[in-house]
Structure 1
Amino acid sequence: MKKKLTQILLWNVFGIVLLFSQYYTYRQGFWFNIDSDVFHYFNQFLDGSHQGFLYLIAITNHRSFDIVSFLAMALLYFCYFHKQNNANKRRMIVIGLMMLIMAVCIKQWGRFIPIAHESPTLYFEQFEPVNRISKLTHFGTKDASGDSFPGDHGMMLMIFAAFMWRYFGLKAFIQSAIVVVIFSAPRIIAGAHWFTDVYVGSLAITSIVLSWFLITPASDYLANVLLRFMPKRFFNTPS
């Protein structure tokens, strides 16, 4: 128990340090320099001279493309699901449900973080010309946000990765972390989110909240409760 408490405290310190570093270096210093460099590096390729790349980012930032990221997570989850016996398949259904519950809870918790800012496209276009994929492609895609912190999309992906690590080990975490990077990248490239919206904000909030749920017995307790209410017809096991 002492070891688990130490792990929880370390994850909380990690998350709090990230949040405070973001809060106290707002629009200046270390994180802003990284944010600015990342935005300007990718934005130069969205000027219309690289049509293939431009439309790739436009398509992957369309709201409907979120279905693809969900399917990618579902496919990875199924790769582990189909190898299980019926008892573990029932448990995996419950784990999937817990992911959804925690996603809703963490999203609401994130609203209490006293950090809010516009996306880099909206910020930088006050001072300089900015390439907006929605204008260059006339495509109904997301390339701006009035309040981009934290990155909700990235946070959902990170919740999935954390659960995969907790229940299926390091290999599953690495695989799901690749999914996080791939599907959070388009928002950052398009300028709909700052780099730190995802890799500071989303990561910090997920680390703080999920450490209390996944490292303590809370997740297993909730899983057992939900299993009691699951209809027996779902991968029934002999009594």
Structure 2
Amino acid sequence: MDNRPLFQARWSWGPLAACTLLPIALLCFWLWPFGQILCLTFDEWLFHSLNAPLADNAIWRYIWTLGSLRPFDIVVGLILLALLIRGDWVFKACQVREAFFGFLVTLILLVVIRALFSKWVDASGWQHDSPSMVFGDAIHLSDFYPDLEASWELKDRSSKSFPGDHASVLLVWALFMSLFSRRLLQHLLTWSLAVLFMLPRLVAGAHWGQDDYIGGLLMAVLALGWSCHTPLAAKASAALLRWTAPLFVLLARLPWVRRLSVVRAG
């Protein structure tokens, strides 16, 4: 059995440079006046294409209303977690616990990057309203279902929509899974789910496209690079494996829980 660690405790300078320069390039393109025009032109078309059918197509409206509810984020999180810790899919059964902790470290780094980058965005005056607050002809899901907005946190607007933090989590998950995927089907399923779960905010108008493909992507790439292409993921996941070993010994005694690869992994 191949028990080599997933993460190497060394600096991978080539991939790290790429994961650092790409976010800088994305930000520079976004700040470039012509780049901003291109983004706005595309985003306006994207928003109206996705949002306009909400007015007359009830099925379209029901689907994206469900996807825009805060509790649905929990469902999305469980789906992503299930694929991450599914043994012998992307990761071998003996590797899923290490993969889980490696992703957890990457996610924590993403939160730190998100907090710092958001402060920079606010201080620089780059923040903007969501398209549902900009366009007068925008279709608001909350107008159709006002009770859902109050009780289930239906999200269809934001006065601070940049960067897309929801998208950054989906993108960092997709990038992390793709880093270790070896089959085309794995890549296709991973990215199809990431795009699908980003769509509710775009359809409802809570985010511009650029909030995701610029803001969300640059944060995700930066987090992945500085986690997986530095010693951080290797050393942090190894430490977490040691510290949590007694907990997993206890979990292995539970009838149903012990069947999970993340529990059975050595």
Q: Please state which band the TM-score falls in when normalised by the shorter chain.
A: 0.7 to 0.9
Q: Corresponding residue for 2:219?
A: 205
Cα displacement (A) at 1:88 = 2.7
Write the distance in 2 (CA, Å) between the matches of 1:204 and 1:107: 10
What code does the residue aligned with 2:51 have? N
Structure 1: unaligned runs, 5 residues or longer: none
Q: 1:142 to 1:168 in 2, by over 3 A?
A: same
| Residue number among 56, 69, 76 corresponding to 1:62 in the alignment | 69
What code does the residue aligned with 2:210 have? T
Q: Corresponding residue for 1:163?
A: 176
Cα displacement (A) at 1:236 = 7.2
Q: Corresponding residue for 1:44?
A: 52
Residues 143 and 187 in structure 1, CA contact (< 8 A), matched pair in contact too:
yes
> For 1:70-119, what per-residue CA distance to the aligned partner results, in whole angstroms no more than 9, with x for missing partners?
1220221232368745x534423423432442342232233134231110
Residues 25 and 31 in structure 1, CA contact (< 8 A), matched pair in contact too:
no
Cα displacement (A) at 1:61 = 0.2
Residues 72 and 179 in structure 1, CA contact (< 8 A), matched pair in contact too:
no
Give SS of 1:147's match: coil
Give SS of 1:231's match: helix
Greater mean alpha carbon deviation, residues 107-116 or residues 52-61: 107-116
Residue correspondence of structure 1 range 133-144 to structure 2 within 5 A: 133-138=141-146, 139-140=148-149, 141-144=154-157
What code does the residue aligned with 1:154 have? A
Cα displacement (A) at 1:167 = 4.1
Residues 155 and 206 in structure 1, CA contact (< 8 A), matched pair in contact too:
yes
Greater mean alpha carbon deviation, residues 148-157 or residues 108-117: 108-117
Cα displacement (A) at 1:206 = 1.5
TM-score (norm 2): 0.77
> For 1:17-56, what per-residue CA distance to the aligned partner results, in whole angstroms no more than 9, with x for missing partners?
1112222339951111001110111222111x11111121
User: Deviating runs (4+, > 6 A) in structure 1?
Assistant: none
Write the distance in 1 (CA, Å) between the matches of 2:161 and 2:88: 34
Residues 81 and 92 in structure 1, CA contact (< 8 A), matched pair in contact too:
no
Q: 1:111 to 1:217 in 2, by over 3 A?
A: same
Cα displacement (A) at 1:233 = 4.9
Q: 1:43 to 1:70 in 2, by over 3 A?
A: same
2:134 counterpart of 1:123: yes
Q: 1:217 to 1:42 in 2, by over 3 A?
A: same
Residues 25 and 32 in structure 1, CA contact (< 8 A), matched pair in contact too:
no
Write the distance in 1 (CA, Å) between the matches of 2:36 and 2:97: 49
Q: Corresponding residue for 1:149?
A: 162
Give SS of 1:79's match: coil
| Residue number among 208, 214, 220 corresponding to 2:234 in the alignment | 220
> For 1:114-138, what per-residue CA distance to the aligned partner results, in whole angstroms no more than 9, with x for missing partners?
231110011123xxx2211110233
Q: Corresponding residue for 1:29?
A: 37
Q: Corresponding residue for 1:104?
A: 111
Write the distance in 2 (CA, Å) between the matches of 1:3 and 1:218: 9
Structure 2: unaligned runs, 5 residues or longer: 1-7, 249-262
Write the distance in 2 (CA, Å) between the matches of 1:94 and 1:157: 17
Q: 1:96 to 1:207 in 2, by over 3 A?
A: closer
Q: 1:32 to 1:229 in 2, by over 3 A?
A: same
Q: 1:94 to 1:133 in 2, by over 3 A?
A: same
Q: Corresponding residue for 1:78?
A: 85
Q: Corresponding residue for 2:253?
A: none
Greater mean alpha carbon deviation, residues 160-169 or residues 195-204: 160-169
Write the distance in 2 (CA, Å) between the matches of 1:26 and 1:123: 21
Cα displacement (A) at 1:3 = 9.6
Identity %: 27
